[in-house]
Amino acid sequence: MVTYEFNRESRLLTPGQFQSVFSKPLRFGSSHITILVTPNSDNNNRLGLAIAKKRVKLAVQRNRIKRQIRESFRLNQHNLPHIDIVVMVKSGTDKLENKEINQQLEKIWRKVIQRHKK
């Protein structure tokens, strides 16, 4: 049975794990969201969030965006190949509604899945 959980094993935790994604990533993106992807040898996907205070000023908005990203990842993680992911946002993302953020993320997840099917 598929479990839709987002636990400690589903997260990038250490600076070294983030650095491995930043070193040689595949980039996917939309007008407000950029996703960096690199294959991993683990049996699961891992998500890291890099939401800069410079891009999204208010902590309330940063936290809302992070919740939306985590939830979207949690629901789509079983469709994704075994990869490490870092999500970054651009300026103006805090002005988007939750629905718009989810639509952009869904579109990016489809691109990632399509790219790794080849």
Q: What is the pTM of this model?
A: 0.93
pLDDT tens-digit map of 64-80: 999 999 999 999 999 99
pLDDT tens-digit map of 7-65: 999 999 999 999 999 999 999 999 999 999 999 988 889 999 999 999 999 999 999 99
Q: In CATH terms, is domain 8-117 a member of 3.30.460.10? A: no
Band of residue 118 on the pLDDT scale cut at 50, 70, 90:
low
Residue 7 backbone class (left: φ over 0; alpha: ψ -120 to 50; beta: rest): beta
Domain ranges of the chain: 8-117
